[in-house]
Amino acid sequence: MPSASVLESKKQIVAEFSERVKNSVAGVVVSYQGITVADDTALRKELREAGVEYSVLKNTLAKRAFEENGYEKLFDDLNGMTAFATSAKDQVIAAKILKKYADKVETFELKSGYVDGEVLDKAGIEALANIPAKEVLIGKILGSLQSSLYSLAFVLQAIVDKNGEAGTEEAPAAEPVAEETKEEAPASTEEPTA
């Protein structure tokens, strides 16, 4: 039977990981088997620079933390050599970085994960990894809005130019108006009364 200090240490690990999961917008479960030390070091550095927390945790402890956060559906993937990546701000960055290494190392495998409270299977995590970065999506939206505005401005300018041309055309010469003969009104024969 483990000592009280070991149990306390495990409770602390579960509490810290549970809090990390609770405060994250996305998490990914991976099997890190077969990754070299050099690749693991590079992976951890890239994740850290992207603001992603990555750690290896005993599966039994991870289960307790996931259970506290309502992610029991992840239990099936908590076997073997498992690592966890969580991101507090970006929903796709952890999946993107980990997928890059999964494509590179045959035995390194994406298993499952969660985004904004929804559990995703392996296919869902891979689809998430293929979504362009937030900045790219914003750029595309702004580009399409800007393109639409340019088109509108072009059309409006064409209308203004067309109306301006019509206004500058010389008006046809006016025909001379024949002078009307004035008839003299008969003089009033009435005298003003005082």
What pLDDT was estimated at residue 34? Answer: 85
pLDDT grade, residue 1 (50/70/90)? low
Q: Which two tokens stand for residue 130?
A: 């293929």
More confident residue, 133 or 10: 10
pTM: 0.66
H or E segment to which residue 66 belongs: helix 59-68
pLDDT in tens, 49-108: 999 999 999 999 999 999 999 999 999 999 999 999 999 998 899 999 999 999 988 889
What pLDDT was estimated at residue 85? Answer: 94
Q: Which of 81, 58, 54 is nearest to 10 (CA)?
A: 58
What pLDDT was estimated at residue 183? Answer: 52
190: pLDDT strictly greater than 80:
no
pLDDT in tens, 138-189: 888 888 888 777 788 888 888 888 887 655 555 455 555 555 555 555 555 5
SS3 content of the chain, % helix, strand, coil (to 5): 55, 15, 35
